[in-house]
């Protein structure tokens, strides 16, 4: 039996045959459009790379059907026939790879970035998007329904294989459906039939303008995860009516802005977190059902299909991380798949901030054309990489792929650096997935790692490198605070705690409220410690994505952890600390440990060895400046491309 026989079997979706059961869902990537929001070569190349990678179906994300419904400023518009030529050019290039190509149609309603927002009722979005909302008049509702039909006709004229109607995630159609967003008293509010009326008017208009055979899928929430919101029972009840309206498939997702379960969950959520919703829908549906929600492992995806929980699986962020994941999985080459780590930073966090989408583990997102035909270097050199953390391993890998001779020296016995320690914290084990990817790649490429080795003149003389890449990382910085070095409490760092070199205390002060401080506090809390986090900044873990931070904060709430922000420390005492926060003077006593987790400082002292060799030194990653993993990997790959 071939690898992943369920995932890589064909399926009929309406009038089209799809070569496998893997969908790259719509993702609002926020790049690849011009000043008129017509698609450009950048977006075409982004989709071309994923078509080449073997995905069965994929969609252009966030196609705006109406000027008042654009979710983000840099997403494709579909409300003007002038958009068709550029769309057709994109479709013509993509279709040669056998991937079914579609567009998701949406109106953001109260969740638009626009200053003038409309919705079923004048109720603002519960989170993320701010600003007043105006309730739609009935003629406007009719007009917008017609815009969905017009947009579908344009997509069909451009040559797309299908469209998907976005009726989930708190956007306009979902707002009509959900009682907490729709308090209308006319024919569009109140009863179940009235709240779903707009959706069926959309479907009817599409069918009138494109005929019965053009495949139209539906993305719908299995659960809003909001009080008085749309529920799984509502979805199951609606299924036969969706099918009667002519839906080719039902794509079951969940969540809205501000929901208790986020639409794009982070690494803290279990894989397949929304699959149970699709399973419930499949039990009553006769058209194909698509499952989504933290599905990043193709073997797990195959299991979902084998169990009969769904007919297809959607893997979005997994295909940002590795566009060629399907081809690698089909070949059984699982260790070569570059994995999503569920940090939500480059994908959703950047887009919601109005920035181009990207990926922490794949710096090539959005610049596929520039790197696609990258070949071997014409000037192979001897490269010595110092440090086997994520930056060092990422640099070593790409140097080797480009044809350079590479050696890695690592002062410790293990690879992964501080990232490997961070993966030991509750809910953050997935960080190790990207480290394992680089470890496997270095083995595959035959790159030697010399452990327990400090860079010195002897190493330089033996290897005689042309270039030395310093990826030596960072370490916690010890602050100067009154009484800190006189206290009788154990004084340790987050590295000491996460590595297990120091046993945790019973009542612990964590100095630092950034990502590292909160992760360390969560780790200590899991050990049963009483933890008090002193954050001298205004906000906690600002460097994390909002989605990832949300789940971390929820994890912290379950433990004996107290958070203080805007802290001004008066001084440490024999067994505690006195401080002010928000104008209130407080003190902690009876503590037995202080964990320093406030700031990192670069480790690059060995750069002084540059004077002892003819090799040129380059500093990357945390050794250059302590930052997030996104910058470490992108900087590592850039240096490998520049030499």
Per-residue pLDDT tens digits for 531-558: 999 999 999 999 999 999 999 999 999 9
Q: Is residue 380 part of a domain?
A: yes
Question: Looking at beta carbons, which pairs linking 327-330 to residues 24 or more positions away fall under 8 Å?
Answer: 327/53, 327/54, 329/3, 329/4, 329/7, 329/8, 329/298, 329/299, 330/2, 330/3, 330/4, 330/8, 330/54
Residues 605-625 as b/e (b if ≥16 CB within 10 A, e otherwise) read ebbebeeebebebbbbbbbbe
Does some domain include residue 1? no
> Does the pLDDT value for residue 1 go beyond 60?
no
- Are residues 354 and 312 part of one domain? yes
**The token pair that represents 241 in the structure block:** 């009516």
Q: Which two tokens stand for residue 531?
A: 């933890």
* 398 and 337 within one domain: no
Given pLDDT bands bounded at 50, 70 and 90, which one contains residue 492? Answer: very high
Same domain, 224 and 265: yes
The pLDDT of residue 62 is 85
pLDDT for 597 beyond 90:
yes
Are 532 and 619 contained in the same domain?
Answer: no
Whole-number percent of the chain with pLDDT over 70: 100
DSSP 565: -
C-alpha Rg value of the chain to the nearest Å = 27
Whether residues 44 and 169 fall in one domain: yes
Q: How far is residue 619 from each of residues 274, 460, 604, 615, measured CA to CA in Å?
A: 43, 16, 8, 13
Q: Is the residue at 577 inside a domain?
A: yes
Q: Is residue 5 part of a domain?
A: no
Residue closest to 428 by CA, chosen among 564, 634, 629: 629
| Nearest residue to 587 (alpha-carbon basis) of 564, 555, 614 | 564
Residues 482 and 471 placed together within one structural domain of the fold: no
Same domain for 304 and 239? yes
Q: Look up the CATH number of the domain holding residue 629.
A: 3.40.50.720
pLDDT of residue 73: 86
Going by their DSSP bridges, the two strands 11-13 and 16-18 should be labelled as antiparallel
Q: What percentage of the chain reaches a pLDDT higher than 90?
A: 94
Strand-pair partners of 449: 408
Query: pLDDT digits over 294-312, tens only?
Result: 999 999 999 999 999 999 9
pLDDT of residue 494: 97
Domain membership of residue 168 as a residue range: 11-370
- Note the maximum CA span of the chain: 83
Contact 570, 584 (CB under 8 A): no
Q: Is the pLDDT of residue 373 over 80?
A: no
Residue 534: CATH number of its domain:
3.50.50.60
pLDDT tens figures, 73-98: 889 999 999 999 999 999 999 999 99
**Residue 6 belongs to a domain:** no
Q: Which residue, among 288, 231, 235, 236, has the nearest Cα to 261 in the 3D structure?
A: 231
State the pLDDT at residue 2.
56
d(CA 503, CA 497): 7
Tell me the average pLDDT across 283-293: 98
Q: Is residue 366 part of a domain?
A: yes
Q: Which of 157, 163, 159 minimizes the C-alpha distance to 61?
A: 163
What are the pLDDT digits (tens) for 252-282?
A: 999 999 999 999 999 999 999 999 999 999 9
Q: What share of the chain is helix, strand, coil (3-state, %, to 5)?
A: 35, 20, 45
Distance CA 402, CA 549 (A): 37
Same domain, 467 and 482: no
Instruction: Look at residues 250, 313, 251, 314 and name the one whose alpha carbon lies nearest to residue 287.
Output: 250
Active site residue 97: no
The C-alpha atoms of residue 176 and residue 230 are separated, in whole angstroms, by 10
pLDDT digit string, tens, across residues 411-457: 999 999 999 999 999 999 999 999 999 999 999 999 999 999 999 99
Q: Are strands 584-588 and 577-581 parallel, antiparallel or unpaired?
A: antiparallel
For residue range 158-215, list pLDDT tens digits in order. 999 999 999 999 999 999 999 999 999 999 999 999 999 999 999 999 999 999 999 9
Phi, psi (deg, nearest 5) at residue 345: -85, -55
Average pLDDT over residues 51-80: 94
Q: Which two tokens stand for residue 388?
A: 């086997």
CA distance 326 to 483: 57
Question: In this structure, what DSSP letter does residue 116 have?
Answer: S
Domain endpoint, select from 348, 370, 392? 370
Task: Say which CATH number the domain at 102 has.
Answer: 3.20.20.70
Whether 170 maps to a domain, the answer reads yes
- Are 195 and 311 members of one domain? yes
Q: Do the Cβ atoms of 345 and 360 come closer than 8 Å? A: yes
- 75 part of a folded domain: yes
Active-site choice (171, 268, 551, 564): 171
DSSP 44-99: HHHHHHHHHTT-SEEEEEEEESSGGG-SSTTS-B-SSGGGHHHHHHHHHHHGGG--
* Long-range contacts of the stretch 80-84 (C-beta < 8 A, 24+): 81/154, 82/36, 82/38, 83/37, 83/38, 83/39, 83/154, 84/154, 84/157, 84/158
Q: How many domains, the chain?
A: 3
Q: Are residues 608 and 576 in the same domain?
A: no
Which segments of 380-468 does DSSP mark as H helices, in order? 390-401, 417-422, 431-444, 457-463
Average pLDDT, the chain: 96
Dist CA 395 CA 385 (whole Å): 8
Q: Phi first, then psi: give them for residue 369, nearest 5 degrees.
A: -65, -35
Tell whether 26 and 151 lie within a shared domain.
yes
Based on the fold, state whether residues 362 and 493 are members of the same structural domain: no
- Of 370, 395, 414, the domain-final residue: 370
> 325, 298 in Cβ contact below 8 A?
yes
Q: Last residue of some domain: 325, 340, 370?
A: 370
């Amino acid at each position: 039996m071939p690898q992943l026989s369920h995932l890589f079997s064909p399926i009929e979706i309406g009038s089209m045959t799809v070569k496998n059961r893997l969908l790259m869902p719509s993702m609002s990537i926020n790049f690849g459009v011009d000043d008129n929001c017509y698609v450009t070569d950048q977006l075409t190349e982004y989709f071309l790379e994923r078509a080449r990678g073997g995905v069965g179906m994929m969609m252009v994300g966030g196609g705006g059907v109406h000027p008042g419904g654009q979710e983000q400023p840099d997403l494709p518009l579909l409300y003007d026939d002038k958009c068709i030529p550029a769309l057709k050019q994109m479709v013509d290039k993509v279709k040669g790879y056998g991937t079914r190509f579609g567009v998701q149609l949406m109106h953001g309603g109260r969740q638009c970035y626009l200053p003038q927002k409309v919705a079923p009722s004048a109720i603002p979005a519960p989170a993320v998007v701010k600003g007043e909302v105006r309730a739609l008049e009935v003629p406007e509702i009719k007009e917008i329904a017609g815009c969905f039909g017009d947009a579908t006709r344009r997509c069909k004229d451009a040559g797309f294989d299908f469209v998907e109607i976005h009726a989930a995630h708190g956007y306009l159609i979902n707002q009509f459906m959900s009682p907490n967003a729709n308090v209308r008293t006319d024919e569009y509010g109140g009863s179940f039939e009235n709240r779903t009326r707009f959706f069926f008017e959309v479907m009817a208009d599409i069918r009138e303008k494109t005929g019965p055979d053009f495949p139209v899928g539906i993305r719908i929430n299995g659960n809003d995860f909001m009080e008085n919101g749309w529920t799984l029972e509502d979805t199951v009840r609606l299924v036969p009516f969706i099918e009667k309206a002519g839906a080719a498939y039902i794509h079951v997702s969940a969540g809205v802005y501000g929901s208790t379960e986020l639409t794009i969950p982070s690494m803290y959520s279990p894989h397949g977190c929304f699959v149970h919703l699709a399973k419930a829908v499949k039990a009553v549906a006769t058209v194909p059902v698509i499952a989504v929600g933290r599905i990043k492992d193709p073997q797990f995806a195959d299991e979902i299909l084998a169990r009969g929980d769904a007919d297809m699986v959607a893997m979005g962020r997994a295909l940002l991380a590795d566009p060629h994941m399907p081809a690698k999985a089909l070949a059984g080459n699982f260790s070569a798949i570059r994995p999503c780590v569920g940090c939500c930073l480059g994908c959703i966090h950047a887009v919601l901030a109005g920035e181009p989408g990207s990926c922490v583990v794949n710096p090539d997102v959005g610049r596929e054309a520039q790197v696609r035909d990258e070949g071997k270097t014409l000037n192979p050199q001897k490269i010595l990489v110092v440090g086997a953390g994520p930056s060092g391993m990422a640099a070593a890998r790409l140097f080797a792929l480009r044809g350079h001779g590479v050696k890695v020296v690592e002062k410790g016995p293990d690879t992964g650096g501080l990232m490997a320690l961070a993966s030991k914290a509750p809910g953050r084990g997935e960080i190790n997935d990207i480290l394992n990817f680089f470890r496997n790649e270095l083995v595959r490429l035959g790159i030697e790692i010399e452990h327990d080795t400090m860079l010195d003149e002897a190493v330089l003389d033996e290897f005689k490198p042309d270039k030395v890449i310093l990826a030596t990382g960072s370490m916690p910085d010890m602050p100067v605070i009154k009484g800190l070095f006189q206290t009788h409490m154990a004084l340790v760092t987050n590295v000491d705690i996460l590595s297990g070199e120091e046993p945790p205390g019973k009542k612990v002060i964590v100095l630092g409220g950034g990502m590292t401080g909160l992760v360390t506090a969560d780790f200590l809390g899991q050990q049963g410690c009483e933890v008090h986090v002193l954050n001298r900044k205004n906000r906690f873990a600002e460097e994390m994505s909002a989605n990832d931070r949300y789940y971390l904060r929820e994890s912290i709430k379950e433990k004996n952890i107290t958070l203080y922000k805007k802290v001004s420390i008066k001084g440490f005492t024999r067994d505690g600390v006195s401080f002010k926060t928000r104008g209130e003077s407080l003190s902690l006593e009876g503590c037995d440990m202080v964990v320093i987790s406030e700031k990192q400082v670069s480790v690059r002292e060995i750069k002084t060895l540059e004077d002892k060799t003819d090799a040129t030194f380059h500093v990357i990653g945390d050794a250059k400046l302590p930052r997030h993993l996104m910058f470490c990997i992108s900087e590592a790959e850039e240096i490998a491309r520049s030499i």
